[in-house]
Amino acid sequence: MIQVRNLTKHFGPNIAVDNLTFEVQAGRVTGFLGPNGAGKTTTLRMILGLVRPEKGTATVDGVSYQRLRAPMREVGAVLDAKAYQPGRKARDHLLALAQASRIPVKRVDEVLGFVGLSDVADRRAGNFSLGMAQRLGIAGALLGDPPVLIFDEPVNGLDPEGIVWIRTLMQGLAAQGRTVFVSSHLMSEMALTASHVIVIGRGHMIADSEVEDLIKRNSGIVVRLRTPKAEVVVPRLVAAGGKIQTSSNGEDDGAIVVTGLEAAAIGDIAFQAGAPVHELSPVEASLEDVFMELTRDDVEFHGTGAGAIP
């Protein structure tokens, strides 16, 4: 389990991480979401002892990273896939990491096989594609068979096959009872991978919640309405407090997207206006929609859902 308490960090006058408190539980994939520049990587680097927090603490199973006795056997992390010297062979890169952590040397070939790099183990890693680099980074993270795994934007630059592989891998690791913490700015990816998400914006907490709850709680009411007498209905909807958006899928199929009014209320208004209704359907927001909504005005949502985990 990863515990972060009141973590704070400025870079010059800019606040990178603003009093973050959260826990990442074992046995599930936790997504760490936020727009670019939200402070995700800085938070991860503080958890891993690479950046010193100004205030607050970050611990793994109660111990700060710097005090872990065998860190790579406790935490596996991939921050930057290309963090290796290009002239060194993949196997030698992993060998040096294994030796530094007192991990059996035979483990090197095991993880190389697992990530599918056995055939290129003796090639210089500088010639690796980004996908191969990600696999080499993941091999390094798995080297110590650690109970906690941290990945920073692992699917960046991967082809669809690689993305599916990483998604399956992360879910498999969580199913083994490991703590899996994955940062991403791709909401759609996290919707498929994570069961729990922590959302930050400009360094502070926006949401810390189960994915389903987050969507339910923040969906608002979105209803699709299709009617041939839109010009009559729309002013009445607006008068009743509804907001009109353009069609959600961007196609002009005659549908109106209404927010702020229940489907039943919209139906009643249309009936009173004498307008025939061809479609009236509540729309479920995606995690993507929720995220856009949350991060658009992150101050308003400050602290929403923080500490929701028991």
Partner 1 sequence: MTQVPTQTIAKSGFPELGPPGLLDTMRSEWTKLKTLRSTYVILGLGVLFIVGLSALITFLIAANEASELKHGSIPSPLITIQGAQVGWEFALLAFMVLGVLVISGEYSSGLIGVTLLATPQRKRLLVAKVLVFAITLFVFTEVMSFVNFFVGHAIVSAYPAYPNTSLSNNGVLRVVIGMGIYVTLIGLLGLGAGALLRNAAGAIAACVGFLFILPIALSALPDSFSNPIGEYWPTQAGMRIGLLHQDAHTLTAWWGAGDMALFIALLLLLTGYALSKRNA
What does the binding site for partner 1 look like in residue numbers (CB under 8 A)? 25-28, 45, 48-52, 65-66, 68-75, 77, 79-80, 82-89, 92, 95-97, 99-104, 140, 144-147, 176-179, 195-196, 210-212
Minimum distance from CB of 89 to partner 1 (Å)? 7
In the complex with partner 1, the residue whose CB is nearer, 90 or 158, is 90
| Residues 178, 122: Cα–Cα separation, whole Å | 30
Comparing CB distances to partner 1, the nearer of 203 and 242 is: 203
Q: Least distance to partner 1 from the beta carbon of 158, Å?
A: 19
Residue 107 CB, nearest distance to partner 1 (Å)? 8
User: Among residues 37 and 49, whose Cβ is nearest to partner 1?
Assistant: 49
Three-state DSSP at 118 gives helix
CB of 101 to partner 1, least distance (A): 5
Nearer to partner 1, 101 or 286 (CB): 101
What minimum distance in Å lies between the beta carbon of 74 and partner 1? 5
Residue 142: CB minimum distance to partner 1, A: 9
CB 137, CB 157: distance < 8 Å: no
CB-CB contact of 281 with 224 (8 Å): yes
Q: Measuring CA to CA, which residue among 203, 209, 242 is closest to residue 223?
A: 242
Q: Which is nearer to partner 1, 172 or 276 (CB)?
A: 172
Sequence letter at residue 216: K
Q: Which is nearer to partner 1, 193 or 227 (CB)?
A: 193
In the complex with partner 1, which residue's Cβ is closer, 36 or 52?
52
- 104 burial via Cβ count (<10 Å: 0-12, 13-18, 19+): exposed
What are the distances in angstroms from CA 155 to CA 45, 134, 170, 190, 294? 18, 8, 11, 10, 23
CB-wise, 131 or 140, nearer to partner 1?
A: 140
In this structure, the strands spanning 2-11 and 14-24 are antiparallel
Backbone φ and ψ for 196, nearest 5 degrees, come out as: -135, 145
- Report how far Cα 238 is from the mean position of its chain's Cα atoms: 36
**Smallest distance from the beta carbon of 211 to partner 1, in angstroms?**
8
* 283, amino acid identity: V
Q: CB of residue 277 vs partner 1: minimum separation in angstroms? A: 37
Helices (H), the chain: 40-47, 71-74, 90-100, 106-115, 130-142, 160-175, 187-193, 211-218, 230-239, 263-272, 287-296
Q: Is the dihedral of CA 181, 6, 289, 185 positive or negative?
A: negative
Q: Which amino acid is at 299?
A: V
